[in-house]
């Protein structure tokens, strides 16, 4: 606690001590002077309740001060109103015992300072205090019966009723009034608060001015109004206002003889006290319910704020991650483009010795493995950000399976592994599939099968089960490899999991292929799993639903033309990238001109007649996007030339920006010769 907060708390406790002491003196003057019944016990007994709540709310030094002040004042007032020394001692000491007993019982029940914030708290408070009052009432009745010979039960009844009513009204009312939470929850202007207090006082005075008119019921809606506007504090203040105004008026009416029945002051006081307690409990219930609703509302608002803040942080983190991945992807792909590009150029040379060709092949293989890791990481990012969208087109599941097997077959043959294909397809038709993503899943499973199988064979199986609405396609990739222990199978599809992750691991990879496959299969609406046993191989399978489809007419632009004799403008600021691109294109017989930035590309496009422009994105002076927009603004054929992005920017949003700028296609670096030739041939055919 800070020093200013400590000083503020000290002042608050001092003020509370003074208010409780003054309230005790005034209440005892009224109760001892005007409300004593035939047994000598006052019908109104708020003093013990005031002391009890003070003991609950005050710190140790002030508790002792309040106890001493209350004890001395109480003893003096008893003597002043005609009690003997022995009776004054009984009243004073039993009152102190009752207050301290209530304080200890409440503290134990609440586990600390009590708070009345729900009806459960109120019920617990009264349940704990009632036995204490009953025991102290029995003690007082026994002592007074010994002193005066008065009936024990009459004494016990008067003491218990007076004490219980005082506790039921004063303790929860004061606890509510001093609770800062209620002040914050129902903060109202001073004018509104004063207006409601005046309304309660005027109504109470009107009701109890002449008790022969039975109008107390009009106080209920007024008290409920106070509870609705001011919360539990309003209910407590309304009840105390009614008590302060009605009790003196009720006793005064007794003396004026304005009652329909022969009530004495003690009976009238007890009746009014019961009425005030009922009004208070009723209004307090409404106030506590409203306070709880308000707390829940504020909690929901706070949670919504936290959720929005967390969402904003998550979006910022996702944006930062995307930016990081985009940067790292670009920075990794750029040198990787040089590695794989020069490896392809070297592999095409006929003057290299056999060992050099083999070493170039190893460079190409290592670079391809690194490219796979980079692509897998980008795929994970796409899945996490929800950027993976399926492109459903009519395709043959058998053809996709054969394509995937054709890609991995050379590696399998290098390990002397055979690949068998088993297809059960009663119809053999086409289905609505994302052939690219389906091939990616199959390649992940087939590559794993080849990687973890040293001898034997791999069996690729496709089973098509016709359905009324959709067919079910089940793919199985079985191998005779090392197998997977049962306890490890649950981790197979987790990210970055390598079952041989120790220092002696024999297999490479980032552990992302199966996780990506699981995400893609689930995106297709299917499921994936594995059946395996150590030493008996593995069978990875997945099932996807697919609707039958009719074949589409192949567009003319899809046919790739031989790129020979094509005039191509290659735009890239990196000398090695230009050298690789020129080398690959000239191998295909193309005529190539180069530009180092977007400004040079714009000038070349304006004066030349190019069939295709291959455009990098990140360049000095003018980037590729700006250059593309400027070229599209040119008149005539120069503004319509196909522009293909050839960049290390490979994330979906980056590719989308290329299309938005006016480019027609995208080739991701590192540039693969087959992909380059296919893209160039396609757009040459489209432009012819």
* pLDDT tens track for 624-644: 999 999 999 998 889 999 999
The pLDDT-based confidence of 504 (bands split at 50, 70, 90) is: very low
380 and 453 both lie in a single domain: no
DSSP 3-state assignment of 575?
helix
Number of neighbouring beta carbons within 10 Å of residue 358: 10
pTM of this prediction exceeds 0.75: no
Tell me if 229 sits within 8 A of 191, measured CB to CB: no
Instruction: Provide the pLDDT confidence category of residue 100 given band limits of 50, 70 and 90.
Output: very high
Q: How far apart are CA 588 and CA 63, in angstroms?
A: 98
Q: Are residues 164 and 205 in the same domain?
A: no
What's the pLDDT score for residue 211?
55
Q: Which of 152-161, 290-299, 478-487, 598-607 has the highest mean pLDDT?
A: 598-607
List the CATH number of the domain containing 127.
1.10.1760
Q: State mean pLDDT over 323-344.
A: 79
Tell me, what CATH number does 586's domain have? 3.40.50.2300
User: Which of 126, 146, 178 is where one domain is finished?
Assistant: 178
Whether 73 and 144 share a structural domain: yes
Sign of CA dihedral 652, 657, 658, 660: positive
Of 316, 332, 348, the last residue of a domain is 332
Q: How far is residue 187's CA from residue 13's CA, in Å, rounded to a whole number?
A: 22
Q: How many domains does the chain have?
A: 5
Both 545 and 670 in a single domain?
Answer: no
> Residue 318's pLDDT is what?
74
- Backbone conformation region of residue 408, classed left if phi is above 0, alpha if psi is from -120 to 50, else beta: alpha
For 220-247, write each residue's pLDDT tens digit. Answer: 888 888 888 888 888 888 888 887 777 7
DSSP state of 210: S
Same domain, residue pair 98 and 159: yes
Q: Is pLDDT at 505 greater than 60 in this prediction? A: no
How much is the pLDDT for 43? 61
User: pLDDT at residue 9 above 90?
Assistant: no
Q: Does residue 54 share a domain with residue 73?
A: yes
31/121 same-domain check: yes
Grouping H, G, I as helix, E, B as strand and the rest as coil, residue 667 is strand
**Where is pLDDT greater, at 75 or 218?**
75
Phi, psi of 634 (to 5 degrees): -70, 155
Q: 329 or 347, which is more confident?
A: 347
Q: What values do phi and psi take at 511, rounded to 5? A: 75, 30
According to DSSP H, which parts of 393-512 are helical? Answer: 397-414, 435-451
- Judgement on whether residues 110 and 237 belong to the same structural domain of the protein: no
Residue 349 sits at φ, ψ, to 5 deg, of: -80, 140
Of the residues 493, 520, 549, the one at which a domain ends: 549
What is the domain-level CATH number for residue 492? 3.30.565.10
So what's the pLDDT on residue 94?
93
Q: Which of 508, 513, 512 is nearest to 495 (CA)?
A: 512
Q: Percentage of residues in the chain with pLDDT exceeding 90?
A: 32
Q: Which residues contact 286 (CB under 8 A, 6 or more apart)?
A: 224, 227, 228, 235
The answer to whether 47 and 77 are in contact (CB under 8 A) is no
H helix or E strand, kind and range, residue 492: none
Q: Are residues 597 and 519 in the same domain?
A: no
Q: For the chain, what is the total number of helices (H) and then of strands (E)?
A: 20, 13
Sign of CA dihedral 292, 296, 301, 302: positive
Q: Rounded to an integer, what distance in angstroms lies between the CA atom of residue 199 and that of residue 347? A: 99
pLDDT at 438: 92
Res 621: pLDDT: 92
Local structure of 141: helix, strand or coil: helix
> Residue 231 has which token pair?
């919360």
Residues facing 548 on adjacent strands: 431
- Are both 437 and 522 inside the same structural domain? yes
Are 200 and 223 in contact, with CB atoms under 8 Å apart? yes
Asked if 482 contacts 452 with a C-beta cutoff of 8 angstroms, the reply is: yes
Top-confidence residue, 308 or 233: 308
CB 652 within 8 A of CB 382: yes
Q: How far apart are CA 425 and CA 76, in angstroms?
A: 106
Q: Residue 39's domain spans which residues?
A: 1-178
How far out from the chain centre does Cα 474 lie?
A: 37
> Is the peptide bond preceding residue 156 cis, with omega within 30 degrees of 0?
no
Q: What is the mean pLDDT of the chain?
A: 83
The pLDDT value given to residue 559: 43
For residue 238 the two structure tokens come to: 């309304």
Q: What is the mean pLDDT of residues 420-447?
A: 89
CA 578 from chain centre, in angstroms, equals 49
Q: Are residues 421 and 315 in the same domain?
A: no
pLDDT of residue 266: 60
Helix, strand, or coil here: 508?
A: coil
* Same domain (yes/no): 164, 95: yes
Q: Residue 54's pLDDT is what? A: 92
Minimum mean pLDDT among 127-141, 403-417, 553-567: which range?
553-567
Q: What is the distance between the alpha carbons of residues 81 and 159, in angstroms, rounded to a whole number? A: 18
How confident is the model over 350-382, as pLDDT tens digits?
888 888 888 888 887 777 777 777 777 777 776
């Amino acid at each position: 606690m800070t020093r200013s907060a400590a000083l503020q708390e000290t002042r608050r406790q001092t003020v509370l001590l003074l208010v409780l002491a003054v309230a005790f003196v005034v209440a005892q003057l009224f109760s001892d002077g005007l409300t004593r019944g035939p047994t000598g016990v006052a019908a109104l007994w708020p003093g013990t309740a005031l002391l009890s709540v003070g003991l609950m709310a005050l710190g140790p030094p002030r508790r002792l001060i309040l106890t001493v002040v209350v004890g001395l004042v109480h003893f003096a007032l008893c003597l002043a109103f005609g009690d003997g020394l022995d009776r004054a001692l009984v009243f004073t000491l039993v009152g102190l015992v009752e207050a301290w007993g209530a304080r200890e019982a409440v503290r134990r029940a609440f586990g600390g300072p009590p708070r009345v914030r729900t009806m459960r708290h109120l019920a617990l408070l009264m349940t704990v205090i009632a036995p204490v009052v009953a025991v102290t009432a029995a003690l007082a009745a026994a002592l007074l019966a010994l002193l005066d010979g008065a009936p024990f039960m009459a004494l016990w009844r008067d003491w218990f009723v007076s004490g219980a009513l005082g506790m039921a009204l004063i303790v929860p009312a004061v606890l509510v009034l001093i609770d800062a939470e209620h002040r914050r929850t129902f903060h109202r202007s001073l004018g509104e608060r004063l207006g409601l207090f005046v309304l309660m006082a005027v109504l109470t005075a009107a009701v109890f001015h002449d008790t022969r008119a039975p109008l107390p019921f009009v106080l209920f809606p007024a008290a409920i109004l106070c509870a609705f506007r001011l919360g539990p504090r309003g209910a407590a203040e309304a009840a105390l206002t009614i008590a302060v105004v009605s009790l003196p008026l009720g006793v005064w009416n007794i003396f004026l003889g304005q009652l329909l029945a022969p009530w004495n002051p003690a009976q009238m006081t007890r009746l009014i006290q019961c009425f005030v307690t009922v009004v208070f409990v009723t209004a307090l219930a409404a106030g506590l319910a409203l306070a709880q609703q308000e707390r829940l509302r504020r909690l929901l608002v706070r949670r919504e704020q936290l959720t929005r803040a967390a969402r904003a942080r998550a979006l910022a983190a996702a944006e930062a991650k995307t930016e990081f991945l985009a940067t790292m992807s670009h920075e990794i792909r750029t040198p990787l483009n040089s590695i794989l590009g020069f490896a392809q150029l070297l592999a095409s040379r006929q003057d290299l010795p056999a060992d050099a060709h083999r070493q170039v092949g190893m460079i190409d293989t290592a670079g391809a493995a690194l490219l796979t890791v980079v692509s897998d990481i980008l795929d994970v990012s796409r899945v996490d950000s929800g950027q993976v969208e399926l492109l459903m087109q009519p395709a043959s599941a058998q053809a996709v399976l054969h394509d995937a097997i054709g890609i991995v077959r050379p590696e399998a043959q290098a390990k002397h592994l055979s690949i068998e294909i088993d297809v059960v397809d009663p119809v053999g038709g086409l289905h609505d599939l994302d052939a690219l993503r389906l091939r990616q899943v199959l390649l992940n499973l087939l590559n794993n099968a080849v990687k973890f199988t040293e001898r034997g064979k791999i069996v690729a199986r496709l089973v098509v089960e016709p359905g009324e609405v959709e067919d079910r396609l089940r793919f199985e990739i079985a191998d005779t490899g090392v197998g997977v222990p049962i306890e490890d199978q649950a981790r197979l599809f987790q990210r970055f999991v390598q079952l041989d992750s120790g220092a002696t691991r024999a297999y490479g990879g980032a552990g992302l292929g199966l996780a990506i496959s699981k995400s893609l299969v689930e995106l297709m609406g299917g499921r994936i799993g594995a059946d395996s046993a150590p030493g008996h191989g593995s069978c990875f399978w997945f099932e996807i639903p697919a609707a039958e489809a009719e074949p589409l007419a192949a567009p003319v632009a899809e046919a790739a033309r031989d790129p020979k004799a094509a005039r191509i403008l290659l735009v890239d600021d990196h000398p090695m990238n230009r050298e690789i691109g020129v080398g690959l294109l000239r191998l295909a017989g193309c005529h190539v001109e180069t530009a180092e930035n977007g400004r040079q590309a714009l000038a070349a496009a304006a004066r030349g007649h190019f069939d295709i422009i291959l455009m990098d994105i990140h360049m000095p002076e003018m980037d590729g996007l700006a250059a593309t927009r400027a070229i599209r603004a040119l008149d005539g054929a120069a503004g319509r030339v196909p522009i293909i992005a050839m960049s290390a920017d490979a994330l979906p949003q980056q590719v989308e920006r290329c299309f938005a700028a006016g480019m027609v296609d995208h080739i991701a670096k590192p540039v693969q010769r087959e992909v380059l030739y296919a893209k160039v041939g396609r757009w040459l055919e489209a432009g012819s």
